[in-house]
Amino acid sequence: TGLLLENPAFLDGYTGYKNLELLANIRKSATTNAIRSVLQEVGLDPDDRRSFRKYSLGMKQRLGIACALMENPSLILLDEPFNGLDPDGVRLVRDAILKRRASQTTIIVACHDKEELDSLADEIIVMAQGKVTERLTQ
């Protein structure tokens, strides 16, 4: 399962690449090429030497999304994936989600932007106070 929680956190003193490499080494589940590729896919430079501490909000969000995607999981859970992203970042993340959707990955997105969900979802479930209030099939 790939997971993005709102406001992703990583080790401040390491680069984005190094943070993903450390996580991938836990399960030996993503190669160097896979890490580099997913970083590029979300618009981050795998050779950027800046530490996570110096990342902008949008860069931190992109790294969190890259982390959720890097192992090619069959289930991806994304909490507010478009927060802090500029228009280019939104486009890149949308494209990454659609690419995985086309490969039959199950993706659950929690998002307040219904228009953004319309372009991504097969089904939208509206909730209020922990209860389903509406189901919309695309």
Q: Which residues of 81-119 are buried (b: 16+ CB within 10 A; e: fewer)?
A: bbbbbeeebeebbbebbeebeeeebebebebeeeebbee
pLDDT at 93 over 80: yes
Q: For residue 76, what are the domain limits?
A: 2-137
Q: What is the pTM of this model?
A: 0.91
Q: For the residues 24-29, what does the mean pLDDT come to?
A: 91
pLDDT at 120: 86
Residue type, 72: N
Q: How many domains does the chain have?
A: 1
pLDDT at 97: 94
Q: Report the distance separating Cα 12 and Cα 23, nearest Å.
A: 14
Average pLDDT, the chain: 93
pLDDT at 115: 83
**pLDDT tens across 47-92, in order?**
999 999 999 999 999 999 999 999 999 999 999 999 999 999 999 9
pLDDT at 138 over 80: no
pLDDT at 121: 85
CATH code of 96's domain? 3.40.50.300
pLDDT at 37 over 90: yes
Q: Report the distance separating Cα 85 and Cα 88, nearest Å.
A: 8
Q: For the residues 25-42, what does the mean pLDDT come to?
A: 95
